Amino acid sequence: MSRILVVDDEESMRQLLEIALGKVGHRVTTAASGNRALKLIETDSFDLVISDIKMPDMSGVEVLRYIKQAEPSVPVIMITAYASAETAVEALRLGAYDYLTKPFKMDELKSNVENALEKRRLKEEVVHLKRELQHKHGLDNMLGVSSAMLELFDQITAVAATSSTVLITGESGTGKELAARAIHVGSGRASEPFVSINCGAVPEMLLESELFGHLKGSFTGAISNHKGLFEVAHKGTIFLDEIGEMSPTMQVKLLRVLQEKRIRRIGSTNEIEVDARILAATNRDLEEGVREKTFREDLFYRLNVIPIHMPPLRDRREDVPLLAEHFLESSRKTTGKNISKISEPVFELLTRYDWPGNVRELQNVIERAVALETTSMIQPERLPEKLQGVSDAFAGERDTLDQASFPEEGIDFNAQVSNLERRLLTAAMRQAGGVQTKASKLLRMNLRSFRYLLQKYDLR
């Protein structure tokens, strides 16, 4: 059912249209004048407007002009009493969907109405899909509340607006690919292809053909012409993942493409111009590669025009609860399991853990917990042992406290805490064989604070 506004000063015409369109299931509102129509449009929303052109107080063309300003996506069909080519053309120029000349056949009007409504539906669908796409890969999908992430979002938004080459660095699982997609989606190239290739996963010969393409017969196995990803990404974005794994020969070839913006398919003498925005990512330290001569310095500078660094999760623990809830929500959707909460002790364990596998590891942990959970809340027992281990090492302490009953006169809190501190230090020193740097790491403490405590408790 669509909402249609009929504007006509002639009552019989209003009635006729109201009945005819009502019969095919539309909800029709009528207005006897242009002024009345504008008021209705202001307060109500319509999917389509049908307006007479010649009316006493305000012409239909003015109504049209107003609608195209206020609600440009609403189609307007004009009706004229006589075929005045000029007004009709003017109406079309102003954005009317179509016009009909009185007298017209009802069928003609109805098909006109249906076409206009269908077109509007399709347009809305496109807008909706675009928004969804944006939501899927845009910044919206990259969550974070830590200042590091907020800064990163700003950086990505700024970079997206340019066509510069970006080198994304960061540990495994920190969201490098997600960032690359966000850059693409936020750029003017969003409606063009985004292609991604893992340079570390493809053997050298194949990589060249994947990137630049080949002609039929150019090597054994080249049974037909093949378009390379640089060509596929023309006007769009190409994401070169694990760039640090690229062989020296391929590095030279890639450098040439970056300099000349042209590629040559294997076996071809023709050069093809390509306009692909290049994003690259690595979890290696490329500068070290440059120093060790495993990565070309000139290529490094070509790629590192704008560096973006993805911070490891352990450096932004504030993001853990938000991400955990996000992954719980998506696992809940895919599994259909009715688990809506994460218990408080679980949050605690999650926030304390170091996440060597970063966000991906967190995602896996939540997915696994959802799969194992039988209650409606994620319980600590559903977490992998390594996460529980953090506190289990001192389960003894916890257990005695769980059953603790304080004496009437109370206990000395500070003395108790000091006692625990001293025991932790001693235990760490014992495990580290007396090496202070090692022991401080076991307690995730910087060396200076560690030494201070050693002195305080006279443990040197």
Ligand X SMILES: Nc1ncnc2c1ncn2[C@@H]1O[C@H](COP(=O)(O)OP(=O)(O)OP(=O)(O)O)[C@@H](O)[C@H]1O
Binding site for ligand X (CB under 6 A): 142-144, 170, 172-178, 283, 323, 326, 359-360, 363
**Residue partners of 252: CB distance under 8 A and separation at least 6:** 296
8 A C-beta contact, residue 326 and residue 320? no
CB of 267 to Mg ion, least distance (A): 31
8 A C-beta contact, residue 305 and residue 162? no
Complex with ligand X: residue 176 or 184, whichever CB lies closer: 176
Complex with ligand X: residue 366 or 429, whichever CB lies closer: 366
Buried (b) or exposed (e) across 32-67, using 16+ Cβ within 10 A? bbbeebbebbeeeebbbbbbbbbbeebbbbbbbebb
CB of 295 to Mg ion, least distance (A): 18
Q: Which helix (H) or strand (E) holds 427?
A: helix 413-431
Instruction: Select the binding partner of residue 359 from ligand X, Mg ion, none (C-beta < 5 to 8 A, by kind).
Output: ligand X
- Cα gap 61→219, rounded to integer Å: 67
Instruction: Select the binding partner of residue 312 from ligand X, Mg ion, none (C-beta < 5 to 8 A, by kind).
Output: none
Instruction: Select the binding partner of residue 283 from Mg ion, ligand X, none (C-beta < 5 to 8 A, by kind).
Output: ligand X
Instruction: Select the binding partner of residue 75 from Mg ion, ligand X, none (C-beta < 5 to 8 A, by kind).
Output: none
Complex with ligand X: residue 48 or 149, whichever CB lies closer: 149
Complex with Mg ion: residue 62 or 241, whichever CB lies closer: 241
Instruction: Select the binding partner of residue 178 from ligand X, Mg ion, none (C-beta < 5 to 8 A, by kind).
Output: ligand X
Task: Provide the angle, in degrees to the nearest 10, between the axes of the packed helices 344-352 and 319-335.
Answer: 120
8 A C-beta contact, residue 281 and residue 140? no
CB of 360 to Mg ion, least distance (A): 9
Instruction: Select the binding partner of residue 174 from Mg ion, ligand X, none (C-beta < 5 to 8 A, by kind).
Output: ligand X
CB of 67 to Mg ion, least distance (A): 48
Complex with Mg ion: residue 192 or 245, whichever CB lies closer: 245
Instruction: Select the binding partner of residue 142 from ligand X, Mg ion, none (C-beta < 5 to 8 A, by kind).
Output: ligand X
CB of 386 to Mg ion, least distance (A): 23
Instruction: Select the binding partner of residue 80 from ligand X, Mg ion, none (C-beta < 5 to 8 A, by kind).
Output: none
Q: Which residues pair with 52 in a beta bridge?
A: 79
CB of 181 to ligand X, least distance (A): 8
- Cα gap 65→344, rounded to integer Å: 59
Mask of contacts with Mg ion, 78-117, x by CB under 5 A?
A: ----------------------------------------
CA 61 to chain centre: 43
The DSSP code for 266 is B
Does 171 sit near Mg ion (CB under 5 A)?
A: no
Complex with ligand X: residue 306 or 442, whichever CB lies closer: 306
Burial of 69 (0-12, 13-18, 19+ CB in 10 A): exposed
Half-sphere exposure of 28 (CA within 13 A, CB side): 22
Instruction: Select the binding partner of residue 360 from Mg ion, ligand X, none (C-beta < 5 to 8 A, by kind).
Output: ligand X
Complex with ligand X: residue 37 or 243, whichever CB lies closer: 243
Does 177 sit near Mg ion (CB under 5 A)?
A: yes
CB of 153 to Mg ion, least distance (A): 19
Segment 266-271 long-range contacts (CB within 8 Å, at least 24 positions apart): 266/208, 266/209, 266/212, 266/213, 266/214, 266/215, 266/218, 266/219, 266/222, 267/214, 267/215, 267/216, 267/217, 267/218, 267/219, 267/222, 268/214, 268/215, 268/218
CB of 196 to Mg ion, least distance (A): 9
The DSSP code for 98 is E
Interacting stretch for Mg ion, rule CB under 5 A, among 66-74, 75-83, 176-184, 446-454?
176-184
Buried (b) or exposed (e) across 157-169, using 16+ Cβ within 10 A? eebbeeeebbbbb
Complex with ligand X: residue 114 or 177, whichever CB lies closer: 177
The DSSP code for 138 is S
Interacting stretch for Mg ion, rule CB under 5 A, among 81-89, 148-156, 175-183, 309-317?
175-183
Residues forming the site for Mg ion (CB under 5 A): 177
